[in-house]
Amino acid sequence: MKQTKSISLLLILFANLSFSQHIYNGINLDTVKALRFDTGKMWAFDFPPTDYFDKTYNFDPSQEWLDAVRLSALRFGQGCSASFISEDGLILTNYHCSYNQLDSLQKKGEDILKNGFTAATLEDERVSPGLYVDQLVSIKDVTKDVIDAVNSGQTIEDKNLKKNQKIKELTNNHGDSSSVLRVIPLYNGGRFSLYTYKRYRDIRLVLVPEYELGLYGGDPDNYTYPRYSLDFTIWRAYDDNGKPLKVKNYFKWSTNGADDNEPIFVIGNPGQTSKLKTVAQLNYMKDFSYDYSSIAYKELMDIYQEFINEKYGDFNDYFTKFFSASNSVKRYEGILRGLRNPYYMARKQDFEKSFRSKVKADTELNTKYGSMWDNIEMTRSEMRKIINERIAFGRSEPWTSKYLKIASDLVEFARQMKLPEDKRKAKYKGNFFETAADSIYPAKFDVELEARKLRITDLLLRKYMGSSNEIVRNLFGDKSGNEAAEYLIDKLQIRTKEQVAALIKKGSDAILESNDPLISFILKTNDRFNEITKQEKEINETESVYTDMLGQALYAVYGTSIPPDGSGTLRIGDGMLKGYSYNGTLAPTHTTFYGLYDRYNSFGKNTPWDLPEKWVHPPKDFVLSTPFTQVSTHDIVGGSSGSPVINEKRELVGLAFDGNIDSNSGYFIYDTEENRMVSVCSQAILEAISHIYRSERITNEIKYGRIQ
């Protein structure tokens, strides 16, 4: 009897324990359902949700409205958004999308980064070499062309080949350098569109704030709100004759900004998102992709911080790199927090369950696509078998020390030079030997930085191969951190260009028999690394076919009732101004310039909250109560930076530049209660141009939409 009672109690305890594993913050995860906008609000101009806009906001945009908006918006360089704001080609985008261009256009003795720049006249506007903007001028449905090409293939490899051949054929611009054609997969390959862009290459700087204002608050305030960053820059496009470009479509400027209760729209080019990925793909990202990236960027950020603290080298250069690395850390860690959130993942699982049941209920769809989830889970399982070595042996990621690249290049050079000349790769033919050292050892080489970056290799090798692994011990012994990097550097025989040149002169055998630890590492891991990267390519190509097929099922089931994932292409997103709860208090919909000065004084006027002299003592006509930044419910990710925020009248009411920390989960799920977009108010930009930068010329062009 006692034994029976004990067994019963254990069963009850086990049942309660199992049930508790399905409880999260008081929510029974077994009952969680996907929400209406989990897949986001990044609506494509191919399929604008006019019925939804009408029902939600009593606003039914005409095709004329949509075309004018599309043609007013721009892609800015590689990775940002922008827009025309005057009929004379004036362009508005973010400061943080522009500051990397500043070195190339400043004159001797200038420091535009520190002092900003305002062109007094048209003649003073500065050309930025290599900068361009793209305007989406047409959209054509090419779904049948691409899918027919894929279906004509007999094997996975053949299907991918036929697909790529068709895309290459469709994107041939026949020598027109002003046109850029791209085939855009939508709904994970359920639809394909041919986008034609008009590219403008003569882009000139008109006005840019000082670094302190453009990135005010620096890293600590990144992904936060309330914000006080004047994150804007003004450029101008010129035509082929060197005249300001005449444009028909541009956003008129709102001097009143947005009201709390009106619908507003963000028009931009959000980067790649994963809202329509399978649960298996998301779990893989959680366990590997974002995990190791966040670890590596965190270490890289710490290295740059050390240099800043030590005042080592070019302070501004390291500060910029630190900010970039920190931005990556916050983004990846934010995504990871979301992926590790059981409530979010329960919503994703419910969406997938519902989607699968709809496919299964349709005989034709089930026959074509019913196995795709299992197929994708299989490909992710195959990647899990090799990913540890893939990460540990990686040698070309942004955080990898260039010493690894030097070692890898030396090994390839040695192996190529042992071949007859006619069997070598093209770059190794002729008199390459004479210039080998110049080609292998980088012209710009920060010795101390590349040495410290070896810490990242140590960190990843230990995590993914184990500290007792022979390769790890050969490279770093039992050291860690800077000691590990120093331990390896002391043994390197390729630290300097002179050492590399001397080793090259000794010949291929000397390189391949070298005792240099990094060369030994490359030799020991190279064959396996090449094998892994080949497997990775095959797995990803196979999965891309499955993903395309699942995308076709997605489109067949849901049509355009949900938006496609972000892909760095033009989207229209809807939302409204709305504060939110944070740190036990509430965030207001707007901040003002009063907050800027409070931040300045509260932090003792120290970096990154210091101000340039003209801002420390603003003129009397500068209105401190002007709305500065605003927060809204829009769905944005990287690539949305520089997006215009407009109202129903196509007036610009803001400039998107950030999201709150919670918005990072928006890469895979959009949460209407947590996600927020932060934008600079139109009133703040105009107030600064008028009263701080004292440019009547630019102020009037913005107000009237043309050069006065």
Is residue 691 pLDDT above 60, yes or no? yes
- In this structure, of 16-30, 451-465, 528-542, 570-584, the range with the lowest mean pLDDT score is 16-30
CATH, residue 100: 2.40.10.120
Residue 8: pLDDT over 60: no
Same domain, 469 and 372: yes
pLDDT digits 0-9 by tens, 587-633: 999 999 999 999 999 999 998 999 999 999 999 999 999 999 999 99
pLDDT tens-digit readout, 502-530: 999 999 999 999 999 999 999 999 999 99
pLDDT > 70 in the chain, percent? 96
Q: What is the pLDDT averaged over residues 72-84?
A: 96
Does residue 420 surpass a pLDDT of 80?
yes
Q: What is the pLDDT of residue 430?
A: 84
Q: Does residue 332 share a domain with residue 311?
A: yes
Q: 283 and 255 share a domain?
A: no
Q: pLDDT tens digit string along 317-375?
A: 788 889 899 999 999 999 999 999 999 999 999 999 999 999 999 999 999 999 999 99
Write down the pLDDT at residue 143. 97
Q: Do 342 and 450 share a domain, yes or no?
A: yes
Say whether both 632 and 689 belong to one domain: yes
Whether residues 268 and 413 share a domain: the answer is: no
Last residue of a domain, one of 502, 521, 537: 537
Q: Which of 519, 537, 555 delimits the end of a domain? A: 537
- Report the pLDDT value the prediction gives residue 9, as an integer from 0 to 100: 45
Query: Does the pLDDT value for residue 98 go beyond 60?
Result: yes
CA distance 41 to 563: 6
The reported pLDDT for the residue numbered 24 is: 78
Domain shared by 265 and 296, yes or no: no
CB 336 within 8 A of CB 329: no
> How does residue 80 score in pLDDT terms, banded at 50, 70 and 90?
very high
Query: Please, which pLDDT band fits residue 19 given cuts at 50, 70 and 90?
Result: very low
Query: Do 307 and 394 fall within a single domain?
Result: yes
548 lies in some domain: no
Tokens of 553: 């099922």
Q: Which DSSP string do the residues of 46-62 spell out, in sequence order?
A: TS--HHHHHHHHS----
**Has residue 462 got a pLDDT over 90?**
yes
Range of the domain at 266: 50-132+201-274+563-704
Residues linked to residue 658 through DSSP beta bridges, in sequence order: 678
Q: Is residue 675 part of a domain?
A: yes
Maximal C-alpha separation, the chain: 98
- Same domain flag for 220 and 72: yes
Residue 26 lies inside a defined structural domain of this protein = no
pLDDT confidence of residue 63? 98
Domain assignment present for residue 155? The answer is no
Answer whether the bond into residue 342 is a cis peptide, omega within 30°: no
Q: What mean pLDDT value characterizes the chain? A: 94
Query: Mean per-residue pLDDT for 244-272?
Result: 97
**Continuous H helices in 131-227:** 143-151, 156-170, 211-214, 218-221
Is 47's pLDDT higher than 80?
yes
Q: What is the pLDDT of residue 21?
A: 55
Buried b (16+ CB within 10 A) or exposed e, 511-534: beebebbbbbbbbebbeebeebee
Judge contact between 229 and 641, C-beta under 8 A.
no
Residue 200, classed as helix, strand or coil, is strand
Q: Do residue 263 and residue 283 come from a single domain?
A: no
Q: Which two tokens stand for residue 608?
A: 């990154």
pLDDT (tens digit per residue) in 284-323: 999 999 999 999 999 999 999 999 888 776 666 788 889 8
pLDDT at 12: 44
Q: At residue 500, does pLDDT exceed 90?
A: yes
In this prediction, residue 432 carries a pLDDT of: 83
In a domain? residue 186: no
Are both 385 and 467 inside the same structural domain?
Answer: yes
537, 572, 605 — which closes off a domain?
Answer: 537
183 — pLDDT class (breaks 50, 70, 90) = very high
In a domain, residue 194? The reply is no
Structural domain contains residue 5: no
DSSP character string of 353-395: HHHHHHHHHSHHHHHHHTTHHHHHHHHHHHHHHHHHHHHHT--
DSSP bridge pairs for 679: 630, 656
Residue 371 CA to residue 151 CA, distance in Å, equals 17
Q: Please give the pLDDT value at position 162.
A: 95
Please say whether the beta carbons of 706 and 244 come within 8 A.
no
In Å, what is the CA distance from 16 to each residue of 9, 22, 25, 48, 341? Answer: 10, 10, 16, 48, 21
573 neighbors 41 (Cβ within 8 angstroms): yes
Bigger pLDDT: 669 or 10? 669
The pLDDT confidence band at residue 177, using thresholds 50, 70 and 90, is confident
Considering the domain architecture, whether residues 267 and 283 belong to the same structural domain is answered as: no
Rounded Cα–Cα distance for residues 111 and 120 (Å): 17
Quote the number of domains for the chain: 2
Helices 143-151 & 517-558 angle (0-180, nearest 10): 120
In a domain, 361, yes or no: yes
CA separation for the pair 150, 131 (Å, rounded): 36
